[in-house]
Structure 1
Amino acid sequence: MIRILVLLASLLVAGCAVSQPASAPAPVPSAPASPERPRNVILMIADGFGPASATLGAAAKGAPLAFDSLLVGSVETSATDSRVTDSAAGATAYACGLKTYNGAIGMDADRQPCRTVLEAAEARGMATGLVATSRITHATPASFAAHVALRAEEAEIASQLAASDVDVLFGGGRTFFADLLGPMAEAAWHVATDRAGFDALDRLPAAALLADDHLAYEIDRDETAQPSLAEMTTRALDLLAASSDARANGFFLMIEGSRVDHAGHGNDPAAHLGDILAYDAAVAAALAWAAADGATLVVSTADHETGGMTLGRDGVYQWDPAPLLATTASHDVILSRAEAASDPAEVVRLALGLDVLPEGAADALRAAQATPAAFRLLVRDLQSVPAGVAWTTSGHTAVDVGLYAFGPGAALFHGRMGNDAVGQALFEVLGL
């Protein structure tokens, strides 16, 4: 509350209105179901991660994903106005324990603010945090600590996050905080805007705004410029656990592997895989931390599936992740390089790790150089067809997503649950 008042005052004075892939450590053994109440809760959300994503990740890794042994059920993901949810309605269901309309950020179906599990945790004196590889103002993280009618209101979301009592904010979205950095500093925030600043963060409240927009896909990430999701997870856990609030009352932390979803929207199988494995590494880090702590519940799920990816296509009973592992850049980076290249076909060949392009592909790529949508489709098929991967949509689907749980209170998460029921269980397990 003190931070909120200080920030509001400073904003008024200032005249501002407040309105790729790497193998993860070995999986943590599954804990027996326990009726005990956890001291801490880590909620992990792999945005856009469906059942096929789990199969793809494990096959490419050559070993189970860190959370495979912790599968306890599935989640039905519908919104109130559609059987196909968006991230805003899906995340609000987890945050508030109720279903709402697509686009809602911390709002119920009547467009009234709903109290989130993070806000309830803060009211009880717990430390809290939000970590994402998207803009931190994007739908999923925003739904836990902001309240707006439509997810596009990101400038307002930034103002609400800056004025909140959240202790950790790690992600992208620096552009929306340009006019808020000074007031945040006056309100005692420790703000990092680059890798060096992130590495130096040692006190709360801490904000790491590490890109103007989203953080890079894992396949494109420069580790000297941006930390991995696993690194942000570990830093957030260490900072929260050391705080006086957490020592007295525990903490609630939401971590999102955001860009699994973006790659699904782009039908970009290599970028999708890279961020799946990055999320897997982050879950492994959280599980290892929780296992050592003994009083921490880890819940992992997704808000929805994206892309309608299938493993097997065109009636051929084969698929193989190897072509995706040979790829060294996302579609976004390939397109950016190709736009200015003298030979876009050579850019694609090198990025996909091919000795030669299929017959006719080079001419097709050169012809489509000035047409980004057509060029992307060609790159998609040059990757997906050899891998035996297909896509049914550039949007979301209504398929159920996996539900995974480890630690005290895991018994509350089981079977087929609605996304609102998962949110209600989060309140219940913390006694909020």
Structure 2
Amino acid sequence: MPRLPLALAAVLACTACSGPVSSPEASMPGTPAATASGDTFRAAPAARPADAPQNVVLFIADGFGPTSATMGASAAEALGRDWTLGTGLIGASETSPSEGRVTDSAAGATAYSCGIKTYNGAIGVGPDKAPCRTLLEAAEAKGLSTGLVATSRITHATPASFAAHVEQRSQEAEIASQMITSGVDVMFGGGLGFFTGREDGRDLLAELRASGATVATDGAGFDALSSTPAVAIMAPSHLAYEVDRDETDQPSLAEMTTRAMDLLGEAAGARGFFLMVEASRIDHAGHGNDPVGHLHDILAYDEALAAALDWASENGNTLIVATADHETGGMSLGRDGIYAWDPQPLLDANASMERIAEQIAGGADPVAAVRDGLGFDSLEDGVAEAIRGAASSGDRAALSTLVRDLASEPAGIGWTTGGHTAVDVGLYAWGPGMERFRGRLTNDEVGRRLFAALGLTP
């Protein structure tokens, strides 16, 4: 079966870079990833533990804090369905970067991918900006199959931190260039804009096909994927929020997870595989203080986790670890001294704030877009007038605040920030080796224990 070339640490020589962080030799196809001094990332493996799993799946729910977990559990109860995360809570991850206490996704993901703390914005590099050996690269070097799944652009901070090395997360064109030679057997997500129509004229999808990969750009192509290397980049930017997703156009996170595990399991056999799955858009909804997008993506995340556990139950010898890189939004269940929280208004809604804004920008009646998107029968005259006024004046901030409050207040939800917070995030684990993740661990320690679970070293 064809396989993409082994991972490299490409030279960071682009207009957005301050200088190279790896040796010139690393830019040659087929060269193993290297540090700035030229030493390869192929460190000797650690002794394989007796309880070592054959496969490891790491779920990262971007922006998913403890309140998000309670929100999801309440909604699952209201829907009469299982809450899978509730079966695996085993500890907590402390999320600070190397400087300060509040991380971004790049530093947070690099802590898990490399087992080190680094600065905000860093993708697969340490505080000294030298490339760090990632768990995916170490697994590849050992002969395991590897995969990345995300509902964001596949070049976004979290997936990028496992398969690329750049000084700043904004260098997504360079990240895409590195990812296509990273050796990853499965890549599912969005971000077509960084693979085709590039300023440098390269068509990275054509290069992937030439290397032997099967490439899909829509749901139908995804459904046809049957062997590795398999790449599905199914949106110009991020994939849709779950509440907005067209089932005929984009697969769910659960479908992508199951397909990735099937493909990797078949390709790897007894060698095993490592897969990272990111529920990316939980974070985006947190930034936008959008409780509808946040909740529906949380439920989609839990469904994906349930699908992975079903696969592990059927196939065996698979460790599943789930955590987050940080919390986003500072969300509360209960607000303004009112002792109430009800998920039903959010479950009744059928559009994210992003989709409502797109509809209004596309010429839809703003009052109808808000009313229907949030599942209301009607809006009070004063509210409708305020929506029309904000929309007609082009005051996007005012309109966003109106929609946020209309969505949040009936559910009893409050927000404290449009950014990240320093709160610890939950740590969940199932399967062989799960005990090593018990307790409160720093995020870099979680990363090192993921390496150890496969008998690897950072």
TM-score of the aligned structures, taking structure 1 as reference length: 0.91
Check conservation: 2:3, 2:213, Cα contact below 8 A.
no
AA matched with 2:161? S
Task: Give 1:240's match in structure 2, choosing from 256, 264, 283.
Answer: 264
Spell out the pairing of 1:261-276 with structure 2 (5 A cutoff).
Answer: 261-276=283-298
AA matched with 2:213? W
Quote the residue 1:101 is aligned against: 119
Question: Could you give the per-residue CA deviations for residues 262-300 of structure 1, whole angstroms, max 9, x where no partner exists?
Answer: 000000000000100000000000011112222000000
AA matched with 1:393? T
AA matched with 1:129? G
Question: Could you give the per-residue CA deviations for residues 88-135 of structure 1, whole angstroms, max 9, x where no partner exists?
Answer: 000000000010000000001110000001100000000000000000
Question: Could you give the per-residue CA deviations for residues 292-318 of structure 1, whole angstroms, max 9, x where no partner exists?
Answer: 222000000000000000000000111
Query: Is 1:193 paired with 2:246?
Result: no
Secondary structure of residue in 2 paired with 1:152: coil
Task: Give 1:76's match in structure 2, choosing from 94, 105, 113.
Answer: 94
Check conservation: 2:53, 2:454, Cα contact below 8 A.
yes
AA matched with 1:126? L
Task: Give 2:236's match in structure 1, choosing from 212, 234, 254.
Answer: 212
- Aligned pair in 2 of structure 1 residues 326, 273: CA closer, same or farther (>3 Å)? same
Secondary structure of residue in 2 paired with 1:365: helix
TM-superposed CA distance for 1:65, in Å, is 1.8
Distance 1:294 1:340 in 2: 49
Query: Is 1:290 paired with 2:312?
Result: yes
Distance 2:4 2:371 in 1: 53
TM-superposed CA distance for 1:340, in Å, is 4.6
TM-superposed CA distance for 1:338, in Å, is 2.1
Check conservation: 1:37, 1:429, Cα contact below 8 A.
yes
Query: Is 1:183 paired with 2:210?
Result: no
Quote the residue 2:62 is aligned against: 47
Moved over 4 A (4+): none
Secondary structure of residue in 1 paired with 2:428: strand
Quote the residue 2:134 is aligned against: 116
Distance 1:258 1:394 in 2: 16
Quote the residue 1:146 is aligned against: 164
Quote the residue 1:430 is aligned against: 454
Secondary structure of residue in 1 paired with 2:136: helix
AA matched with 2:232? A
TM-superposed CA distance for 1:193, in Å, is 0.8
- Aligned pair in 2 of structure 1 residues 2, 298: CA closer, same or farther (>3 Å)? closer
- Aligned pair in 2 of structure 1 residues 397, 195: CA closer, same or farther (>3 Å)? same
Query: Is 1:407 paired with 2:431?
Result: yes
Check conservation: 2:3, 2:185, Cα contact below 8 A.
no
Long gaps (5+) in structure 2: 9-26, 29-48, 197-202
Select between 289-298 and 391-400 the one with higher mean Cα deviation: 289-298
**How many residues were matched structurally?**
407
Secondary structure of residue in 2 paired with 1:360: helix
Question: Could you give the per-residue CA deviations for residues 318-372 of structure 1, whole angstroms, max 9, x where no partner exists?
Answer: 1111111111101111112223546411221111111221351011111100211
Q: In percent, how many aligned pairs have the same letter?
A: 62
TM-superposed CA distance for 1:49, in Å, is 0.3
Secondary structure of residue in 2 paired with 1:334: helix
Quote the residue 1:4 is aligned against: 5
Query: Is 1:87 paired with 2:105?
Result: yes
Secondary structure of residue in 1 paired with 2:84: coil
- Aligned pair in 2 of structure 1 residues 342, 111: CA closer, same or farther (>3 Å)? closer
Question: Could you give the per-residue CA deviations for residues 210-234 of structure 1, whole angstroms, max 9, x where no partner exists?
Answer: 0110000000000000000000001
Distance 2:205 2:149 in 1: 18
Task: Give 2:352's match in structure 1, choosing from 321, 330, 349.
Answer: 330
Quote the residue 2:34 is aligned against: none
Quote the residue 1:125 is aligned against: 143
Quote the residue 1:26 is aligned against: none
Quote the residue 1:30 is aligned against: none
AA matched with 2:75? A
Check conservation: 1:35, 1:410, Cα contact below 8 A.
no
- Aligned pair in 2 of structure 1 residues 118, 361: CA closer, same or farther (>3 Å)? same
Quote the residue 2:416 is aligned against: 392
- Aligned pair in 2 of structure 1 residues 2, 277: CA closer, same or farther (>3 Å)? closer
Check conservation: 1:291, 1:407, Cα contact below 8 A.
no
AA matched with 1:4? P
TM-superposed CA distance for 1:81, in Å, is 1.7
AA matched with 2:289? N
Distance 1:342 1:163 in 2: 43
Select between 148-157 and 352-361 the one with higher mean Cα deviation: 352-361
Quote the residue 2:73 is aligned against: 58
Distance 2:162 2:364 in 1: 47
- Aligned pair in 2 of structure 1 residues 182, 321: CA closer, same or farther (>3 Å)? same
AA matched with 1:197? G
Secondary structure of residue in 1 paired with 2:182: coil
Quote the residue 2:36 is aligned against: none
Long gaps (5+) in structure 1: 8-17, 20-33
TM-superposed CA distance for 1:69, in Å, is 1.5
Quote the residue 1:310 is aligned against: 332
Quote the residue 1:13 is aligned against: none
TM-score of the aligned structures, taking structure 2 as reference length: 0.86
Check conservation: 1:230, 1:278, Cα contact below 8 A.
yes
Distance 1:312 1:325 in 2: 17
